[in-house]
Amino acid sequence: MAESYTSSRNGDVISNGGHNGSSPSLVPTAHTAGLSSVIRKKLMGYVGFANLPNQVHRKSVRKGFQFTAMVVGESGLGKSTLINTLFNTTLYPPKEPISPAADRPKTVAIESIGADIEENGVRLHLTVVDTPGFGDFVNNDDSWKPIVENIESRFDSYLEQENRVNRTKIVDNRVHACLYFIQPTGHSLKQLDIEFMRRLHTKVNLIPIIAKSDTLTDEEVTEFKERILSDIAHHNIHIFQAPTYDNEDEETIAEAEEIAGKIPFAVVGSDRLVNTPDGRQVRGRAYPWGVVEVDNEEHCDFVKLRQMLVRTYMEELREYTNDVLYENWRTEKLLSMGVAQDSSVFKEINPAARLQEERVLHDTKLQKMEAEMKMVFQQKVQEKEAKLKQSEEELYARHKEMKDALEKQRADLEDKKRKIESGRPLTPEKSSTTRKKGFLRT
């Protein structure tokens, strides 16, 4: 005995019989207001699409991942060291100090370093974009321009790949996160910091970082963070915030709130192992007064930064870059090129309403064609009437001219008739007087 279910229009499910326990059946769930057009049901048996996350996981592991991070900040703030510490690999070799007599660059340079990293069978192609020279000049006006141009050129490259005929090998080299290093002054953001973040916050995920936070006390770090966040809010700068989703458990929500509460991250970078007073070997920095441990959350925010950037929200950074930042830039780019979007594309329309709309459009088109035909007909009639009137006037003028000529001929004939009847010659005699010419005699 099989039981079948019929869905009614209001979302209720009507049972038509019993069911066989060997086959999965559909049972109705509670009907919720506002979802009258959506019917939610759960399965009584295993179907298999719950395995979709595992399929996505296998495909992702097989394909690998790509991530591009940009580091921006003045020289000497530990950018290279922090990147090596974050990914636990030597991307940047130790830098040699530059000789005072050496020529220094006069503009901001853009350098990219790529590396393939593997962890527990998961492969990641990491690209780090460095910006040496930023903020190192006496005049730092427009020092952000090469960075903005580099980010936009990467957007251009991705857009060009999307428009290719063959798009099987699209390389995503867009910048997914920008780690902006703030000098630990303890006061507030400098004008260069504000201008840079204002120019880039609509094109890249900004993550502000207080570099070398071990030079500040805990109270100074807290006050410095408050001033930074106040400046960011005052200038309407959008920085990346850890997203929250529905149906998250309390632990995940608390973790997201804890990460958000650490922004901007006060970090200490070090890829060297040092010995602690209790005999442990940790990554950190040794000072006469003690050891600053990089991986100790009580000493700095490095763990929370790595948790947000790598362990928890790396995919969200990629997704936000693609779905929001890139799409907004792409929209502006295409509109500036004169490409307009049809508002009816991807628009859900009721078929009856669509049919009525098409009928109205068809009637309007017919009315327009009829009005145009009437206008053309009237124009032709007017032109024909004008020609006929002109011909009539010409005929009337010729008729009058011929009538006048006939009247004149008739008058001449009448005059000749009268002369004949009176016996006078038709032509008048010429009276010639002969005058003799001579000399006058006196």
Angle 190-192-197 from CA coordinates, rounded to 5°:
100
Give SS3 for 283. strand
Euclidean distance between CA atoms 293 and 310, whole angstroms: 20
Task: Assign domain 53-94+106-337 one CATH number from 3.50.50.60, 3.40.50.300, 3.90.1280.10, 3.40.50.720.
Answer: 3.40.50.300
Distance in angstroms (rounded) separating the CA atoms of residues 308 and 317 = 9
Q: What is the pLDDT tens value at each position of the chain, 442 positions in all?
A: 344 333 344 444 444 444 444 344 344 444 444 444 567 777 777 777 778 888 888 888 888 888 999 999 888 888 888 888 888 777 777 766 666 666 666 667 888 888 888 888 888 888 999 888 787 777 777 888 889 999 999 999 999 998 888 888 888 899 999 999 999 988 889 898 999 999 999 999 999 999 988 888 889 999 999 999 999 999 999 999 877 777 788 888 888 888 888 889 999 888 888 888 888 888 888 888 888 888 888 889 999 998 888 888 899 999 999 999 999 999 888 888 877 766 665 566 677 887 888 899 999 999 999 999 999 999 999 999 999 999 999 999 999 999 999 999 999 898 888 888 887 665 655 544 444 445 444 4
Threshold 0.75, pTM exceeds = no
Residue 435 backbone phi and psi in degrees, to 5: -115, 130
SS3 assignment, position 439:
coil
Eight-state DSSP code of residue 311:
I
Check if the beta carbon of residue 156 is closer than 8 Å to that of residue 96: no
Which regions of 80-233 does DSSP assign to beta strands (E)? 111-119, 122-130, 177-182, 206-210
Q: Which residues, including other chains, have CB under 8 Å from residue 91's CB and lie 6 or more apart? A: 80, 83, 84, 113, 115, 126, 128
Residue with tokens 């220094």: 104
Report domain extents, the chain: 53-94+106-337, 352-393
Angstrom distance (rounded) from CA 424 to CA 31: 130
Q: Which amino acid is at 75?
A: S
Give the Cα separation of 96 and 132 in Å (integer): 14
